[in-house]
Amino acid sequence: MNLLELKIIEKIKDQGPITFENFMDMALYYPSLGYYTSPETRIGRKGDFYTSPHLHPAFGAMIGKQLEEMWKIMGSPSDFTAVEIGAGAGYLCGDVLVYLKNKKIFNSLKYIVVELNPLMMEVQKKLISGFSDKVRWVSQLKDIGFLRGCIFSNELLDAFPVHVVEMDTGLKEIFVGFGPEGFKDIYQSVSSLKLINYFNVYLANIPKGCRTEINLRIKDWLKDIDEILSEGFILTIDYGYTASEYYDEERSRGTLLCYHKHRTNENPYKNIGQQDITAHVNFSSLKKWGDELGLKTIGYCAQGTFLIALGLDEVITELYGESPDYENEVRRIKGLIMPQGMGESHNVMIHYKGKESPELRGFSLRNQIRHL
């Protein structure tokens, strides 16, 4: 039994059963012991999972291309800030800056990385040392101050701690207890009126026996962004569904998954602090809560469609058109857009804060806002 497990057990003994959201928060973010705060965390092919930036540098180039379009839409201001929340090992940041370094936007660009883990921050700084004068780091959004530009994330929201609920004679919440057999589910009344409100919007028709997740932290995250974003865009890329897809009967056991050494399992009570725990994003709630804050949802579609519409072919030609390894690069890039890769499992949503309702090239082929 590791130290983090003992910390969780101690909390349960002191307070009684804790919500699954509380358990997940400790498992992922407990200082120096949680999965994302531990010095042992490994992301990439040698770790527990890898993301689009690990698949190919063209992904970062495409994010750079999107930032450039946003900058032009905003009138090519002399001060444009790009904020990346949760930068992993730093590959995305590095690839974005490499792509933009010879573009007109580069002199106007300020790049900020929001990183909770100080050890991961050092990994990022080492990787992108060539751009040390362009990038600064903060540990939380409120340390940034007001900005104009774009706040973006890739596979961030799926790692927010979630409440787990199940429909019985009424809605029950899953709490975590501990006994001789180890950690266990305990069914209790829901812990917050916010869960009831969410239930009334999205879950009122789920059948008995259905278990699923509720991510309330997305709403607080949007509020934090709204407080610092004077004008600009919020770009969110993650795996998830519309509410109707998420809470369909075919997902009657929810979407909660754990990742350990590139293998998935459905048991969050093992490898505590040593495995990732995720749940898919309800993009309908992301739109609704954004709209309530005055953040206009201007586009939503699958990652593959978005990248193709944005001009992936142009970037491939620009970066690799003269390369003798062109065909191999294209094969690798296909993982970003093909349905069996990340092309359909991951979705893109962009909000805008400002007076206008800009149209972005990435949604020119397909914009599925109406399905949210």
pLDDT, tens digit (0-9, with 9 covering 90-100), for 343-358:
999 999 999 999 988 9
Q: Is residue 27 part of a domain?
A: no
Closest CA to 259 of 159, 157, 116, 177: 159
Confidence of residue 7 (pLDDT cuts 50, 70, 90): very high
Confidence of residue 71 (pLDDT cuts 50, 70, 90): very high
Tell me how many domains the chain contains.
1
pLDDT at 340: 82
pTM of the model: 0.95
Confidence of residue 50 (pLDDT cuts 50, 70, 90): low
Q: What is the mean pLDDT of the chain?
A: 94
pLDDT at 217: 98
Count of residues for the chain? Answer: 372
pLDDT at 107: 97
Kindly report, residue by residue over 298-319, the tens digit of the pLDDT: 999 999 999 999 999 999 999 8
pLDDT at 45: 46
Q: Is residue 89 part of a domain?
A: yes
pLDDT at 39: 84
Q: Is residue 181 part of a domain?
A: no
Q: Is residue 204 part of a domain?
A: no
pLDDT at 43: 57
Q: Output the domain CATH number for residue 61.
A: 3.40.50.12710
Q: Is residue 326 part of a domain?
A: yes
Q: Is residue 271 part of a domain?
A: no
Helices 118-127 and 91-100, interaxial angle, to 10°? 30
Q: Is residue 177 part of a domain?
A: no
Would you say residue 48 has pLDDT above 90? no
pLDDT at 322: 85
- Average of per-residue pLDDT across 8-27: 98
Q: Is residue 19 part of a domain?
A: no
Question: Which residues span the domain enclosing 86?
Answer: 52-161+215-247+280-371
